[in-house]
Each structure stands twice: as structure tokens, then as C-alpha cells.
Amino acid sequence: MCGIVGYIGNEETCPILLDGLDRLSYRGYDSAGVAVLNEEGKLHISKTRGRLENLGHQLEQSPLYGHIGIGHTRWATHGEPNDVNAHPHFNNAGNIAVVHNGIIENHAQLRKQLTEQGCEFISQTDTEVVAHLLSTLYEGDMKQALLKATKLLKGSYALGVVCEQEADKLFCTRNESPLVVGHKDGKGYIASDIPAMLSHTRDVIFLNDMEVAVLSRGGIEIVNEAGEPAMHELYHVTWDLSNAEKSGYPHFMLKEIHEQPAALQKTFSPRNSADIHDHSWLPFTPEEAKALRKITIVACGTAYHAGIYGKYAIEKLARVPVEVDIASEYRYRSPMLGKNEVFIAISQSGETADTLAALREAKRQNAKALVICNVVGSTIAREAGDANTLFTYAGPEIAVASTKAYSTQVETLLMIALALADMRGTLGEDEIKALQAEIAALPKKAEKAVATEEELKTIAAEECRKGHVFFVGRGLDYALSMEAALKLKEVSYIFSEAYASGELKHGPIALLEDGRLVVTAVTQPDLLDKSLSNIKEIKARDAQVMAICSEDLKDQVAPEVDRLITIPGGDDIVSPLLAIIPLQLFAYCMAVARGCDVDKPRNLAKSVTVE
């Protein structure tokens, strides 16, 4: 949801800002803009609707020169994505410029007050109030103006500010939207996310809510909301920028699908011990595990689908009831968390506003709250605390459609299920050893699943003009189908929906007709007969069936379907982790065949920091 960057130093600022924005464009790509202070300390702004390339062309025609600037890439919330609503926004004197990620919730009230004070608004955005507000609060010190503004602004914001009055400084502040700052060799950087500054510095500071940072060529001054100096530890980034580059792949989505074997390995290794009873990575004592009465999993989007897998796995292996909810629903339905219950939030980015709010609600109720998260230093991980955060080690995920993060979330949930099963005594030692061996074997098998790409490319070339695609499955295959349907609709814009196979006959079957494509996963041997019956029902309505099935079930499934993709066999609880890979590839190949912008699908953003 919008990305902001800022630079102060002695180099030309525009190329640095554009490079940073390029690395943040997964956060939104409706418009882009920069504000630059030139050598004379005069502020100039260039902004335009559309992708970052448009801004690049505009700056080639009319360059802006200077050594201090801020930049923005937008995911529109308030106001259509046009030139005027593009950031940076500025005050009427044109000497203060602001970029913003988040939503100012009291913008209407502030707009009214500021208008009464004589400010003239030109955009429909919530952000413009910040520029006018700072202008009215400014009394010779932008740091103080920002401290006052943080007390008046309601909602979420990461703000970058430059002004002519203090043309040798770069200012920023945040509340509930991410912001990192860094400084090296007389140059300062601000950004919504680390990749935007990683080619300049590996040592970054995560600002806390309501803190204000003032960056100059000499260093960074950070104060808390009371204006007192705030102490921060430097976080040293160990991962490489190549993780956030395409490395020869045509799209990030394809690269990230291919990275799944390694991501599964990295997420499993630190939690795998020769002693199968060593669960020290999981913040549960055996007593807590035994006393567990319920687990509530809350997440959004793909992470929510991982949560549904978690329900099946934990209930089956550890015999604990699990409730899964969509974060935006959970937080507004007066949830209750009782004694001996545990709350788990899942979030790739660690910034999703609704998931964060759900976590806060769980903490407010004093529940034991864990998070599964992919981004170190993210708000959700920091609020849960290191001890309660289980990191997935998928590495930076750039494509808007989540793939490797999903796999590692599912794998982590499986490991939780297994550890709880051991502590609660619901599985025997041999069963636990066997399942651990299955997880250990996943990376090798996942490589084989990735190798289905060519087959899926061929299928996509023939099927890519289909108007609607249904995904069906039973048990864990249904959980998987939900994610597969989301993947396809996200990247290819084909209407796709998932149904529990048994529910087909209660309505959706009315939509089946000659040529309709139905995709089904068949990986659960105990549900095989039922799944085959459902496939027959679909075929009887002249629909086409494409199945993803485990090698072990191939002989039974092949005669019943029109197209078959096989994945390596294994325990039924592990198979969905393999079956999702061809389904992700299917979505990817369909999107490419349809000429869609795979990594940046229309209207979407990767990090949803608004409700």
C-alpha cells in the first residue's frame, strides 16, 4: 500500500529515488512522484499517474537536480489515480512537500478546519491535509511541527517530508505503517522497506510509532513523541539484494515458485533436531500444549488459506480444535479468547493492517499470541516479540501473488501440528519420525513438482481463453483449491472459485456445461473414491477436468480426467505442499499466455496497510 523513499547526501537524488521506488513498486503502482530540493534550496515536484516508467520518462524530458528528495509509488485509496492525486503533496506556498503511506482517518475533519484557516486543497487525497497541517504548525522547526502533527493525525502513516525552510534536512515519522531509516558515509535514506536502501547500506533502524527522525549529512537524530532522544539498535541486514532481483527469470512470480525447494529447506532446517522431542523452537511448554483447548488462526488472503491447511493438520495430528478467520472479519465480531487458548496470526509481510489489529486484540485479551511471519523487523513480528514469532525463511517475496511464502507458512503449520502432537501424545514416536522424514524430503520432491512447468505452459496455451475456472477438492485438497483459485484470479483475471467437491451438487453444478474447465487436486487416498465420484459427476455435465494427483494415485485418476499432472507421492498431509506448485505454475502460465502483468496485477498491492 504505497511506498515512500527519501535521500539526503551529495549525489544526484532522482536516480537514487527512482531506484528505491522501483524496489518498492510491489506496494502499489497507480502513480509515482518525487520532490527535490535543488542547490538553491528550492522545491520542485514531478509526478504522474501510471507506472514508475512514466515518471522516468517525465524526468528525462524535464530533469530535477538536487541532493535531497523524497519519492512515492501509490496504491490509490482516496481519490482516483490521476496526476493531481499523485504524491508528493504540498502546501499552498509550495515550500513543504510530503509523501505518505497509510490512511489519515480524520482527514475530512482536518480538511474542514484547514480550509477555514485559508488552506486551498487541490487533490482528493487524505495526504494533502498533512502538507497543509505542517504548514500551519511550522514555526521555524519542522521536527517540532511533525511532533505536533503526530498528535493531531489519526490513522496510519509513514511520512517523508522536505521543506525549503530547512533545505539541508530530510524528515520522517510513522504510526502503524512501516518505515526504515539508514545512514552511511554522509548520506541518509528513508524507505518503507529495506530493499529500497539495501544497495546503499546494510545497517538500518526501524522507527517506532510516533517517533520523528531528522536526517542530515551528519547523521540521524531520532526523538520520541515527547521530543526526547530515542535510542535504537542498528539492525544489520544479512540477506542479499539478489534475493530481490529477477536473476534471469522473466518474472518474480516464476523465480519465487522456483525458489520453493530452497525456502522449504531453510524454514525446516533450524527447527529440525536429531532429538525428535526437541521442540525448543516452539514457544509452548509441554504443560501448555497438553492443556490447549483451542487455537484461533487469523490472517488475510493467501496467509488465510495457509491457516485453513493449519486447521486440518493441527486438528488431525494434535487433536486440538482450530478456528480460522479472516482478519478483517475477526476483529469486528467481538472475538473471545479464553483460558488455555492460543492465537496465531499469519502474515508474509508482517504489515497487513487487519492482521495487526487482530493480533493487538488478542494481546488486549491477554491471550498467548504467536505469529508466523516472513519479514524480520516488520510491525507484526516486532509487536509479537521475537520469542513469539516463528519466521518463515522464504526470503524477500516481491511478486504480488504469494507463492513461496504460502509454502513455508503451510510447512511451519505442519511442524507446529507435529510438535503439538508429540507434546500432547496424540502421535506415536514412529509416526512422528516418519512425518519428519517426509518434511525433510519435501525440497527434493518440490523440485520435481516445479519441473511440471513445461506441461503447464502447453496446457495454458490451450486453456487461456477460458472465461471461468472452478477448483474443487476434498479435505486438504479443498484447502489447497482455495489458494489455487485465488492465484488464478489474481494474476490472470479469470473468474475462478473453489468449492468443496461435496458441495458442488448443492448449487455450483448448475454452472457446469460443455467445455467449462474444472481443476481438481487429488492427493488424499482416504477420500479417493469420493473424489472420483465427484469427477464423474463433473464429466457427466460435459465439463473438462484437469487433475493434479500424487504418483501413487495416478492409475486410478488418469482414466477419469482429461488432463493429468502428477506430483511425487508421499503422506497425504504433506502432499498439498507439492500439489500447490503445479497449481501456482498453472496460474502463472495462464497469466503469461493472456499477456497479463504477472508481478503487478491490476488493483492489487502486496502489502495491505489499510483496512
Stretch that binds ligand G6P, among 165-173, 212-220, 524-532, 602-610 (CB under 6 A): 602-610
Residues 148, 244: Cα–Cα separation, whole Å: 37
Residue 76 or 427: the one with the smaller Cβ distance to ligand G6P is 76
Tally the C-alpha atoms within 13 A of residue 549's C-alpha that lie toward its C-beta.
27
Which one among 99, 300, 416, 518 touches ligand G6P, defined by CB under 6 A?
300
Stretch that binds ligand G6P, among 124-132, 254-262, 297-305, 514-522 (CB under 6 A): 297-305
The continuous run of DSSP H or E covering 357 comes out as helix 353-364
Q: Which of 43, 208, 7 is CA-nearest to residue 131?
A: 43
What is the per-residue burial (b if ≥16 Cβ within 10 Å, else e) of 72-98? bbbbbbbbeeeeebbbbbbbeeebbbb
Residue 173 or 412: the one with the smaller Cβ distance to ligand G6P is 412
Assess contact for 253 and 401: CB atoms under 8 A: yes
Within 10 angstroms of residue 58's Cβ, the number of other Cβ atoms is: 19
Which regions of 176-218 does DSSP assign to beta strands (E)? 180-184, 187-191, 203-206, 212-216
Minimal CB distance residue for ligand G6P: 301
Q: Which three cell numbers stand for residue 353?
A: 493492517
Q: Is 606 a catalytic residue?
A: yes
Residue 48 or 403: the one with the smaller Cβ distance to ligand G6P is 403
Phi/psi of residue 277, each to 5°?
-95, 5
Q: Which three cell numbers stand for residue 7?
A: 535521500
> Hey, what long-range contacts does 548-551 have (CB within 8 A, 24 or more apart)?
548/519, 548/520, 548/521, 548/522, 548/523, 548/579, 548/582, 548/583, 549/521, 549/522, 549/523, 549/579, 550/522, 550/523, 550/575, 550/578, 550/579
Residue 475: CB minimum distance to ligand G6P, A = 22
Does 302 interact with ligand G6P (rule: CB under 6 A)?
yes
Assess contact for 530 and 474: CB atoms under 8 A: yes
Residue 271 or 487: the one with the smaller Cβ distance to ligand G6P is 487
Which one among 348, 492, 496, 584 touches ligand G6P, defined by CB under 6 A?
348
Within 10 angstroms of residue 275's Cβ, the number of other Cβ atoms is: 7
Does 349 interact with ligand G6P (rule: CB under 6 A)?
yes
Residues 528, 393: Cα–Cα separation, whole Å: 33
Q: Which three cell numbers stand for residue 406?
A: 504460502
Q: Which of 189, 179, 63, 84 is CA-nearest to residue 127?
A: 84
Residue 220 or 413: the one with the smaller Cβ distance to ligand G6P is 413
- Each residue 244-283 as x (binds ligand G6P by CB under 6 A) or -, in order, gives ----------------------------------------
Residue 173 or 352: the one with the smaller Cβ distance to ligand G6P is 352
Which one among 13, 31, 402, 609 touches ligand G6P, defined by CB under 6 A?
402
Does 357 interact with ligand G6P (rule: CB under 6 A)?
no
Does 88 interact with ligand G6P (rule: CB under 6 A)?
no
Assess contact for 390 and 372: CB atoms under 8 A: yes
Residue 481 or 544: the one with the smaller Cβ distance to ligand G6P is 481
Residue 347: CB minimum distance to ligand G6P, A = 3
Phi/psi of residue 458, each to 5°?
-65, -45
Residue 540: CB minimum distance to ligand G6P, A = 36
Does 400 interact with ligand G6P (rule: CB under 6 A)?
yes
Q: Is 589 a catalytic residue?
A: no
Stretch that binds ligand G6P, among 153-161, 295-303, 464-472, 473-481 (CB under 6 A): 295-303
Which one among 329, 551, 604, 611 touches ligand G6P, defined by CB under 6 A?
604
Stretch that binds ligand G6P, among 209-217, 398-406, 522-530, 592-600 (CB under 6 A): 398-406
Does 352 interact with ligand G6P (rule: CB under 6 A)?
yes
Q: Which of 2, 373, 549, 596 is catalytic?
A: 2
Does 408 interact with ligand G6P (rule: CB under 6 A)?
no
Which one among 123, 355, 388, 481 touches ligand G6P, defined by CB under 6 A?
355
Does 381 interact with ligand G6P (rule: CB under 6 A)?
no
Q: Which of 47, 255, 445, 606 is catalytic?
A: 606
Does 135 interact with ligand G6P (rule: CB under 6 A)?
no
Residue 411: CB minimum distance to ligand G6P, A = 15
Residue 192 or 347: the one with the smaller Cβ distance to ligand G6P is 347
Helix, strand, or coil (residue 424): helix
Which one among 393, 456, 606, 610 touches ligand G6P, defined by CB under 6 A?
606
In the DSSP assignment, the letter for residue 597 is -
Residue 486 or 512: the one with the smaller Cβ distance to ligand G6P is 486
Q: Total residues contacting ligand G6P (rule CB under 6 A)?
A: 15
What is the secondary structure of 230-257 as a DSSP string?
---PPEEP-S-GGGGS-TT-S-HHHHHH
Residues 601, 65: Cα–Cα separation, whole Å: 33
Enumerate the active-site residues. Answer: 2, 606
Contact residues: ligand G6P, CB under 6 A: 300-303, 347-349, 352, 355, 400-402, 604, 606, 608
